[in-house]
Amino acid sequence: MKITPVHIVLFMVAVIALANAGLNPMFLFFGAFFFISSAGRRGGNSQQKRRQEQQRQIREAQARAQRRYNPVPQRDARYQEHIKKAQQKQEMRGRLAKALPYKTKGVEEYKNYHYDDAIENFVKALEFNDKDVATHFNLACSYSLTEQADKAFEHIDKAVQLGFNDADKINTHDAFAFLRVQDKFQAFKNNGYRLGGQQKQTKTVKVEQAEHGNLLEDLKRLAEKRQQGLLTEQEFLLEKKKLLR
Residue 199: its pLDDT value, please?
A: 37
One domain, residues 31 and 129: no
CATH code at position 86: 1.25.40.10
103 part of a folded domain = yes
Residues 47 and 149 in one domain: no
Whether residue 35 is found in the same domain as residue 142 = no
Same domain, 45 and 160: no
173 and 79 share one domain = yes
- Find all residues with CB under 8 Å of 193, minimum gap 6, and list them: 156, 157, 160, 167, 170
81 within some domain: yes
C-beta of residue 102 within 8 angstroms of C-beta of residue 138: no
In angstroms, the CA 125 to CA 90 distance is: 18
Q: Would you write out the chain's pLDDT as a tens digit for each of its 245 residues?
A: 555 666 666 666 666 665 666 655 565 555 555 556 655 555 556 778 888 888 888 888 877 777 666 555 555 677 677 778 888 788 878 888 899 999 999 999 999 999 999 999 999 999 999 999 999 999 999 999 999 999 999 999 999 999 999 999 999 999 999 999 998 999 999 999 999 754 333 333 333 333 344 566 777 777 776 676 666 776 777 777 666 65
Co-location of 61 and 88 in the same domain: no
CA distance 199 to 185: 10
Rounded Cα distance between 223 and 230, Å, is: 10
Which residue from 31, 3, 38 is spatially nearest to 23, judged by alpha carbons?
Answer: 31
Whether 245 is in a domain gets the answer no
The answer to whether residue 234 sits within a structural domain is: no
**Which of 50, 69, 88 is the last residue before a domain boundary?**
69
Query: Mutual orientation of helices 133-145 and 73-111 as an angle, nearest 10°?
Result: 30
Same domain, residue pair 37 and 96: no
Residue 115 lies in a domain: yes
pLDDT at 179: 92
Number of domain units in the chain: 2
Q: What is the pLDDT of residue 117?
A: 95
DSSP 182: S
Question: Residue 243 domain-assigned?
Answer: no
User: Residue 244, CB half-sphere, CA atoms under 13 Å: how many?
Assistant: 19
Domain residue limits at 118: 74-213
Are 16 and 84 in the same domain?
Answer: no
CA distance 139 to 132: 11
Question: Is 158 inside any structural domain?
Answer: yes
Q: Same domain for 78 and 197?
A: yes
What are the CA-CA distances from residue 117 to residues 101, 121, 142, 144, 237 (Å)? Answer: 14, 6, 9, 14, 24
Is 126 in the same domain as 192?
A: yes
List the one residue out of 136, 99, 98 whose CA is nearest residue 119: 136
**How many Å apart are CA 218 and CA 101, to the nearest integer?**
32
- Residues 33 and 91 grouped into a single domain: no
65 and 78 fall within a common domain: no
Q: Is position 224 within any domain?
A: no
List, in order, residues 6 or more apart from 120 with CB less than 8 Å away: 106
Last residue of a domain, one of 14, 38, 69: 69
Phi then psi for residue 182, to 5 deg, are -80, 150
